[in-house]
Amino acid sequence: MQTMNGYGRMLEAQTVLHQRYQIVRLIGQGGMGAVYEAVDQTLGNTVALKQTLLSRQWLPTQHAQLSRAFEREARLLASLRHRALPRVIDYFVNEDGQFLVMDYIVGTDLGVLLEQHVEPFALPDVLCWMDQLLDVLDYLHTHEPAVIHRDIKPRNLKLTQRGDIILLDFGLARQQRSPGQRQSSSIVGYTLHYAPLEQIQGSGTDARSDLYALAATIYHLLTRVAPPDVLTRATMVMAQQTDPLVPLSVLDPRIPSALSDLVLPSMAITAADRPASAATMRATLQAIRHRSGRPSTDQSVAQADARTADSATGAVVSTTRPFVSAADSKNAQHSLPPPPLPLAEPWPAPMPPAHTVQQQRLPLLVPLILIVSGIFLMVCALIGLFFTSNSAINDVVRYPGVACHCSVFSHMMTFL
Ligand SMILES: Nc1ncnc2c1ncn2[C@@H]1O[C@H](COP(=O)(O)OP(=O)(O)O)[C@@H](O)[C@H]1O
Ligand SMILES: [Mg+2]
């Protein structure tokens, strides 16, 4: 049975839409819509179908605004071409709402992976994802007109089975008609931990707003600690208190300070204090990764073997550190574009406990000390005998045994 949900309705499996797309299952449902896995019956491939769901509690003006926003998302995505973005295949409207048909991305979103993994993600993986995201942000921000995503967060990033990141959900995205133009607020949303102050205040977003959200996302992935929201930070800073945003390298000393020095300024409360562009940020990131050199291909492949496919999700995730990311191993095997470089400061290998080191040295040390002191005592005894040879003879005659030893000992002590 189909459930009515405002103007649109949730769709059941097997429903065929637009005489072409057969619903397989519901993938996700948000405040504004639902996403389904479906089969394109014409071409036989799997697609993702995004549907708007309007609530009857909303005003007609809000309905109109949301419909326009959804249509804008479809048109915007259709105009973009980048390997980190899903391709738009179709767009249509029917009695169940508006529908956006796009590539179905197999994988798991990083929000789900964050919940599943007890350990923070491996640093090389996160740096590789960060590089891919800065690349797509550079593409969007330098597009004509520039596109500001405005909703970068782990939940909107999908990790494919090949270890690539795909940026989803352009529901909040805006086009920037002129370079200096800042985008006004939208009717719905942002996610507090990742949103910059200018987006929350509605004072206008630009490319640096996406850099804030990206840096906040990386912060969360590296530390598993959700960054404090910018409103709390701004309030504390204004009250002359310390910014509660703890540097990455303080939270985890294994994180290179150079990386911390890149991520933290990108989360500056004031947009003007952030890096100027995704390209600038990416150049700094690449310098950090270049500094430690590149592991040999053998090493990459061996390390790549240490990773496993997450059985629950199908996404490729790391099991050990340090190692090379999935994208690295893929590149190593197929000679595709340059593999991401390893870390500027590799994860230090854990130091063996001090007592283990002492235990390893002790067996050698004890016999050595015994031999040296034995030789020393013998030399002393000989020297003592030499000096006492005359007087000791008399003593030995009178007090054999004891006298001899006492005399030799006393001379030894004198010598010492
Ligand atoms: N093209 C796609 N392929 C596979 N899954 C997708 C695709 N687009 C969205 N999803 C999944 O659907 C869910 C909601 O998608 P999203 O576009 O973020 O919508 P919302 O506006 O509800 O946040 C997420 O779990 C996301 O991973
Ligand atoms: Mg989303």
pLDDT digits 0-9 by tens, 207-222? 999 999 999 999 999 9
Q: Are residues 408 and 391 in contact, defined by beta-carbon separation less than 8 angstroms?
A: no
CA-proximal residue: ligand 1, atom 1 (nearest) = 104
160 lines ligand 1 (CB under 6 A): no
13-37 burial, b at 16+ Cβ within 10 Å, e below that, comes to: eeeebeebbbbbebbeeeebbbbbb
Listed range (107-121, 295-309, 389-403) with the worst mean pLDDT: 295-309
Whether the link from the prior residue into 367 is cis, omega within 30° of 0, is no
Distances (CA, A) of 119 to 57, 113, 218, 312: 42, 11, 15, 17
Question: Does ligand 1 come within 6 angstroms of the Cβ of 28?
Answer: yes
pLDDT score recorded for residue 57? 73
Closest atom, ligand 1, to C-alpha of 107: 4
Please give the model's pTM, rounded to 2 decimal places: 0.72
CA of 49 to the centre of ligand 1 (A): 9
**Above pLDDT 70, what percent of the chain?**
66
The tally of CA atoms less than 13 A away on the side-chain side of residue 308 is 6
pLDDT > 90? residue 152: yes
- In sequence order, the β-bridge partners of residue 157 are 167
Q: How far is CA 385 from CA 395, 398, 403, 412, in A?
A: 13, 17, 13, 8
Confidence of residue 160 (pLDDT cuts 50, 70, 90): very high
Distances (CA, A) of 22 to 35, 49, 150, 191: 13, 10, 31, 32
Give the span between the Cα atoms of 102 and 364, in whole angstroms: 69
Structure tokens at 363: 């067996």
- Tell me which residue of 111, 119, 110 sits closest to 163, measured CA to CA: 110
